[in-house]
Amino acid sequence: MINTPDVITAVNIALLLSACAAAIVMIASFRKDTLQKRSQQLFFAKILATGVGAAFYALSYIHNPVPRDALNIIGLSFAYIGIYVVYFLYVMYVKTVIEELDKNDRVPLYVTYLALILCVTGSLFRIISIFDHDFISLGEAANRSAVTNQLGVLCGMMLMLMTFIILVKHSKTIGSRHTIVLCFMPVLMTLATVFEQFSHGIKLLYPALIIEFLIVYTQHHLDIETRIQKDEISETKARLDMATGRMKPHYLYNVLTTIYYLCETDVEKAQYAIGVFSEYLRSTLEAMDKQELVDFSWELDEIKNYLALERLRFGDKLDVDFDIEYEDFKVPPLSIQALVENAVKHGLGQKEEGGKLRIVSRRLSDGGAQIRIRDDGVGFDVEELANQDIALGGIVSIRERLRIEIGAEMTVTSTPGKGTTVMVTIRPQDGIQ
């Protein structure tokens, strides 16, 4: 005849080891680039704490489920502490997710302190319950009803209730789908806690945690996959926009009209313009086929070709100053040229008397590179940049392309009536050779 405590012990060991294995698989799948945000780091810490806690619990069963010796006490203590550490990390995870999504939607600071107090208190009660008279063995089939154990359980239930309330209260910020996903934690833990009271010794808290984490983990990676696909689409769109944008009919018409009048007034200048325009068209078509990064020197030639054509139109109204000290790095093709075009078209081109354009490149002390494009044109209100994306020649799209392809940071400072400065910073690991 099978001994019931032995069966319960075997089931619990299987459940806890399964939880450990699932935690290890999830931990191993995390990459450094997926741990940039604090919320991602907290989620990783939750999985780690769950795996460690489940391992201590399983080792207690494997060591000897009957006597209450020192190793069992240590193992159970860490297992109980692990549960409340996970509870606390989950509250912090939810709080951080909310504040990352909306900096103005703040979760009160007292939530952190209250969660910490409940976790410490719950852990202490559960550890003390190990020494209660009714603690017979890990494999016992009877429900333990010690006051300390029940008080520890109550602290955990209060934490889950608090998490649920936070999620519901901030559901607009999180979004309905993510709110439902995150609500699985308090729901599953509450059900597991209640079920344990009638399960004749089957331990379900750690397995329930892993189920919840698998749900959130799956959703997390689906979101990453969606974001990657959007980034790829944005990258392709930005590349085509920058390459084909220069070939819009009105721009070609302006250049050809300029060349037409030069043929009547200055033949040599017209020949020069045709040569520059031919090189301009060739490089544009070439850029449309480029899938790799290009040397900044190549990009600089494109900028000079573009500005040479623009000076045929603007004459002395367009004053260009190059201050190039560093070229040994790579950029996406036509990305910096698009910023220069934006400065001419929307900055200097809107100013009747024209103005000055200054292009600077420097090597940074950390081995990176920095490009500055400064014009003294009409300027604009930076705060309205996102709403003026189309009017400003897609500068937001350029920023995204630089970020996606080389991880570069682009900042824009501008003052209406005084001009604009665009600064592109490329770190060594991004686009520097």
* pLDDT value at 125 more than 80: yes
Same domain, 256 and 196: no
Quote the mean pLDDT of the chain.
Answer: 80
Same domain, 184 and 65: yes
Give me the pLDDT at residue 35, please: 76
Query: What is the percent of the chain where pLDDT is above 90?
Result: 17
Which of 239 and 217 is assigned the larger pLDDT?
217
The tally of domains found in the chain comes to 2
Same domain, 154 and 10: yes
Q: Domain boundary residue among 225, 260, 295?
A: 225
What angle (nearest 5°) sits at the alpha carbon of residue 102, between those of residues 96 and 106? 60
Domain that residue 371 falls in: 246-431
Same domain, 165 and 299: no
Cβ-proximal residues to 208 (8 Å cutoff; 6+ apart), any chain = 188, 189, 191, 192
Does a structural domain hold residue 241? no
Any idea which residue has 């012990």 for tokens?
9
Cα(273)–Cα(312) distance, rounded to whole angstroms?
A: 8
Give me the pLDDT at residue 176, please: 82
Any idea which residue has 């007034």 for tokens?
265
Does a structural domain hold residue 237? no
CATH number for 165: 1.20.1070.10
* pLDDT value at 148 more than 80: yes
CB atoms within 10 A of CB 72: 21
Give me the pLDDT at residue 3, please: 47
Does a structural domain hold residue 234? no
Does a structural domain hold residue 124? yes
Does a structural domain hold residue 239? no
Same domain, 157 and 258: no
Does a structural domain hold residue 233? no
Give me the pLDDT at residue 370, please: 95
Indicate the pLDDT class of residue 287, thresholds 50, 70 and 90: low
Cβ-proximal residues to 424 (8 Å cutoff; 6+ apart), any chain = 336, 339, 370, 371, 372, 402, 408, 409, 410
Same domain, 206 and 339: no
Same domain, 253 and 192: no
Smallest CA-to-CA distance from 56 within 80, 29, 22, 86 is with 80
- Averaged pLDDT for residues 9-15: 83
Give the C-alpha distances (Å, rounded to integers) separating 258 from 217, 268, 309, 313, 314: 59, 13, 9, 6, 10
Same domain, 172 and 269: no
Give me the pLDDT at residue 296, please: 93
Tokens in use for 123? 């852990």
Indicate the pLDDT class of residue 131, thresholds 50, 70 and 90: confident
Q: Domain boundary residue among 160, 193, 225?
A: 225
Which amino acid, one-letter code, is at 106?
A: R
Q: Return the sign of the alpha-carbon dihedral for residues 199, 201, 206, 211.
A: negative
Does a structural domain hold residue 95? yes
Q: Domain boundary residue among 225, 257, 287?
A: 225
Same domain, 201 and 340: no
Same domain, 209 and 305: no
Any idea which residue has 């005084």 for tokens?
418
Indicate the pLDDT class of residue 29, thresholds 50, 70 and 90: confident
Instruction: Note the pLDDT tens digit of each residue in 384-402.
Output: 655 544 445 467 778 878 8
* pLDDT value at 233 more than 80: no
Cα(197)–Cα(143) distance, rounded to whole angstroms?
A: 6
Give the C-alpha distances (Å, rounded to integers) separating 181 from 94, 174, 186, 273: 11, 10, 11, 62
Helix residue ranges, H only, 33-130: 38-63, 70-101, 110-129
Give me the pLDDT at residue 71, please: 78
Which of 431 and 184 is assigned the larger pLDDT?
184
Smallest CA-to-CA distance from 23 within 82, 96, 70 is with 82
Same domain, 256 and 309: yes
Cα(230)–Cα(254) distance, rounded to whole angstroms?
A: 35
Which of 408 and 242 is assigned the larger pLDDT?
408
Cβ pair 366, 427 in contact under 8 A: yes
Same domain, 413 and 355: yes
CATH number for 291: 3.30.565.10
Which of 228 and 13 is assigned the larger pLDDT?
13
- Averaged pLDDT for residues 4-31: 82
Highest mean pLDDT pick, 156-160, 233-237, 268-272: 156-160
Cβ-proximal residues to 313 (8 Å cutoff; 6+ apart), any chain = 254, 255, 258
Tokens in use for 174? 């999180």
Indicate the range of 33-47, 319-333, 352-366 predicted with least confidence: 33-47
Does a structural domain hold residue 238? no
Cβ pair 54, 16 in contact under 8 A: yes
